[in-house]
Amino acid sequence: MNHKQSKRRDLLRKLMRLMFRTMLRAVAKTAPDGNEPLPDLRAAKRILLVLVNYRMGNTVLATPAVSALIDALPMVEFSFVGGPYASGILKGYNLKHVYIVSRRDSWLPLRMGRLIRTLRQKRYDVAIHLSMATASLGAFIMYASGAKHRIGCRGSVGNIFFTSAMEHPHSSHKVDQVNEYMRRLGIHASGERKLALSNEERCWAESFFRERIHSPSSQPIGIFVGSRQRKGKFWDISNFSVVAKGLRSHGFPVVVFIGHEEASREELIRASLGEALYIKEPDIRRVAALVSGCRAVFTPDSGPMHLSIAAGTKTVALFVKPNFDRYGPRQPQGEVVFDPHGTSADRALQTILNLCTQPRAASPTM
């Protein structure tokens, strides 16, 4: 897709969002106020969790809530409605069903109708919207599910779909917001992003690196170069080249992950970063397992940053925008590199080297 097509698509999305929000404002004037008391979650038999989002990172950010709810309510049957990454990210959690909604599904009434019919047949006692956004497809699906109690956060347009609408959490970091949201529901929550990787998955990753990395240190340092350029998160490839070269000079093997968004630049990436183990793995569980086997990961602010944190790997996150206090890793899990005038490759390299000398945190397991 060229630059002109990308701008046209972004403009179309903005117009659609504006139309949608205008419609919701009109609907909100006649919708319930959302002031019903919160239900007793411990009395529920079946609870539906909803977060329909098409980005990896936003699904990973829901894991503290999913983990806290399942731990607090072991007798409840939980199901989840989410985007394309949900089944991979939430594998290993005690969920009865994980229903997937693709971007294309939102434009296909028959598919949406089948999903809603299935949800209504389950007769959920409670549905909880985890995205904390009122004006979304997920909120509508939760409403259409027929759940008696529907919990969510009140948005700028007011309440539309929830029987119990709460004010948005006040915490600055997204993980803290999720935990604050759960505590308002009476659920103890203080965890971080977490993947439930099995011992078999971790052992597979260790074996993978042992067979391919012939170095005194079989634990490599992973690099993700991808970032959403149209969101202003781009860092020049020459900077990644300096980081990779510096890591090799200190005796660290380098692994470079190439996802589908970087496929068109693969030749440039290989030429720029030089000697490394290049991995093109489409399975998100295997990517997460390989990330868990790295000594550390260097990544821009992107989905893989959240994946690395959730896998329990030390993470150095490069931020081009000053929103690291909302999404970035926190110590001792990782470090943020940010400079309003542009982060230098040397500073990023030194941050990675410093982090690699610290003891690794215990891997999150379930």
Peptide bond into 332 cis (omega under 30): yes
Question: Which domain-ending residue is among 133, 156, 184?
Answer: 184
| Buried/exposed code over 129-167 (b: 16+ C-beta within 10 A; e: otherwise) | bbbbbbbbbbbbbbbbbbbebbbbbbbebbbbbbbbbbe
What is the number of structural domains in the chain?
2
The answer to whether residue 147 sits within a structural domain is yes
- The SS3 call for residue 225 is coil
Same domain, 310 and 271: yes
The DSSP element (H or E) to which 350 belongs, if any, is: helix 345-356
In the prediction, which pLDDT does 32 show? 66
Instruction: Let me know: does 151 contact 128? Beta carbons within 8 Å.
Output: yes
Same domain, 287 and 310: yes
> Tokens standing for 98?
């994980």
Same domain, 205 and 336: yes
Angle, CA of 68, 56 and 242, to the nearest 5°: 120
Question: Which domain-ending residue is among 156, 184, 212?
Answer: 184
> Tokens standing for 92?
């290993």
Same domain, 222 and 258: yes
In the prediction, which pLDDT does 30 show? 57
Low-confidence ranges of the chain (pLDDT < 70): 1-7, 9-10, 13, 16-17, 19-32, 134-135, 156-158, 216-218, 227-233, 359-366
d(CA 292, CA 290): 5
Same domain, 160 and 226: no
The answer to whether residue 362 sits within a structural domain is no
| Sheet (strand 334-337) strand order | 277-279, 254-257, 221-224, 296-300, 314-318, 334-337
In the prediction, which pLDDT does 222 show? 98
Same domain, 134 and 209: no
In the prediction, which pLDDT does 361 show? 53
The answer to whether residue 365 sits within a structural domain is no
> Tokens standing for 277?
């183990």
The answer to whether residue 140 sits within a structural domain is yes
- Partners of 28 in the beta sheet? none
Nearest to 288 by CA among 363, 229, 178, 352: 363
Same domain, 297 and 174: no
The answer to whether residue 177 sits within a structural domain is yes
Same domain, 125 and 47: yes
Same domain, 180 and 217: no
In the prediction, which pLDDT does 139 show? 87
Beta strand pairing status for 334-337 and 314-318? parallel
The DSSP element (H or E) to which 249 belongs, if any, is: helix 237-249
247-295 pLDDT, tens digit each: 999 999 999 999 888 888 999 999 999 999 999 999 999 999 999 999 9
What range does the domain containing 40 cover? 31-184
**Which residue do the tokens 């980081």 mark?**
243
Nearest to 56 by CA among 268, 198, 227: 227
In the prediction, which pLDDT does 15 show? 76
Same domain, 299 and 323: yes
User: Taking the CA of residue 105 as centre, how many other CA atoms within 13 Å lie in the half-sphere pointing to its CB?
Assistant: 20
The answer to whether residue 46 sits within a structural domain is yes
Same domain, 236 and 321: yes
The answer to whether residue 10 sits within a structural domain is no
- Partners of 257 in the beta sheet? 224, 279
The answer to whether residue 12 sits within a structural domain is no
Residue 206 belongs to a domain with what CATH number? 3.40.50.2000
Same domain, 41 and 112: yes
d(CA 241, CA 16): 40
Question: Which domain-ending residue is among 151, 184, 217?
Answer: 184
